[in-house]
Amino acid sequence: MTDRRLAGPVRIVGTGLLGTSIALALRARGVDVALADISPSSLALAIDYGAGRAAQPDDTPELIVVCVPPDVVARIAAQELREFPNALVTDVASVKVAPLRELIELGADVSRYIGSHPMAGRERSGAIAARADLFIGRPWVIAGHDGISYGRAAQVEQLALDLGAIPIEMTAEDHDRNVALVSHTPQVISSLLAARLTDATDAATSLAGQGLRDTTRIAASDPELWVQILRANAPEITGILRAYRDDLDRAISTLEAPDVAGARRALAELIAGGNTGVARLPGKHGQAKHFSRLVVLVDDKPGELARLLTEIGELGVNMEDLRLEHSPGAQIGLAEISVLPAVETRLVSELESRGWKISEALA
C-alpha cells in the first residue's frame, strides 16, 4: 500500500499492545518498521505477528515511537534522543506533563521530542491483543510545547493520520487535566464499583444486566499499568474524586431521609444531571445526534444475528450502533439496535412482520 504520509523507517520501542498495534498498522501501509524491546520473548512474539523486523545497530529511523510504561518513558525517550540524533521522538503514554518535565530535567534535546497519546486501547495487553485497526477514528492527542516547532513535529501528525486516527493538538497540561476526567477517574470509579461484587452471592450476579457490564468493563484493566498512570496524574484525579465524594455525600444524605420535603426533587436532579452529561458525549462520527434504540430477541443459534442484520440492510435502514447481551438462563440473545428516530416505527413494524420479536423500544 502506497497511500501513506510516512516513508519510514519508523522505530518502535516497546512491543506491547500499543507498540505492536502501531507497528501492524504501519506495516499494512508498507512502512519499514524496526522493533525494539527489553524482553526478547515479547520482541519475538511481535515479529511473529508480522509487526516488523528486529531493530539493527545501523538503522537510521526518521521517527521513533516510545511505547513503554509511564514510569520509564522519560528515561527511554532520553536514551533514544541520544542514540539517534536525527530522529524525532514521541511517546504514547497516557500522561504527558511528567515525561516532558523529566526530559527537561535530564537535559534531553526536547527540540526533537513531542509527547502524544492515542485514545485507544483494550482491557487485554501484549502483542497477542494488538490490532492494526485499533486507532481508526480515535482521537490522537499531540502535546506540543515551546521547545519544538510545528514543522519539526509534523511526523507525529502524519503517523496519526496514517493510522486512521484524528490528530488533536493540546498542551501537556490540558491533556492530563482532560484525561483525568474522561479516562483516569472513570477507571477508578469502575474498579470501585466492580470491587463491590467480590463478595456478592451467585444469586446477585446472576441478575446482572448490560448496565452493570457496561459500567464495569474497564475494571478488567491491568493493575500494574494503572498504578503508574494514576500516580503520574494524581493531582488532577484527586480533584475530580473529591467532587465525586461531595456528590456521593449529598446522595447518601438524601437517601437516608427519602421522604422529607425536597428529597424526590434531589433524586430526580441527580439522575437528570447524568442525562445532561451523557448528552455531551459525541455520537457516531462525532455528531451530537441522539438515536432511538430497540431490543430484538435473537435465538442463540448460528446465523440468526447475521439474518437480522441482513434484513435491516434490506429495509434500507442504517444501523447507527449495535450492542449484544445474552439473557441469563435462556437460549436467546438481546440485540440492542440504535437507529435514527425517524425510521424507528417503520423498522419495528417491518421486523415484526418478518417474525422478529421486539422486546422494548428505548427513547
CA dihedral over 140, 144, 150, 152, signed as positive or negative: negative
- Statement: residue 77 has pLDDT above 90: yes
Topology (CATH) of 10-170: Rossmann fold (3.40.50)
Contact of 194 with 221, CB cutoff 8 Å: no
Average pLDDT for the chain: 90
Give the strand pairing for 10-13 and 33-36.
parallel
Q: What architecture does CATH give domain 178-279? A: Orthogonal Bundle (1.10)
Going from N- to C-terminal start, the domains of the chain cover 10-170, 178-279, 286-362
Average pLDDT of the segment spanning 218-239: 92
Within 13 Å of residue 13, how many CA atoms lie on the same side as its CB? Answer: 25
pLDDT of 103: 97
The Cα 109–Cα 105 span in angstroms is 11
- Statement: residue 83 has pLDDT above 60: yes
Long-range contacts of 33-42 (CB under 8 A, 24+ apart): 33/8, 33/9, 34/9, 34/10, 34/59, 34/61, 35/11, 36/11, 36/12, 37/13, 39/15, 42/15, 42/16, 42/126, 42/127
Average pLDDT of the segment spanning 309-324: 87
pLDDT of 261: 95
CATH no. of 286-362: 3.30.70.260
195 vs 84, 216, 218, 219, 326, CA distance in Å? 45, 9, 12, 9, 23
Backbone angles phi, psi at 122, to 5 degrees: -140, 165
pLDDT of 361: 46
> Which residues, in sequence order, are bridge partners of residue 337?
294, 322
Residue type, 348: V
Average pLDDT of the segment spanning 80-97: 96
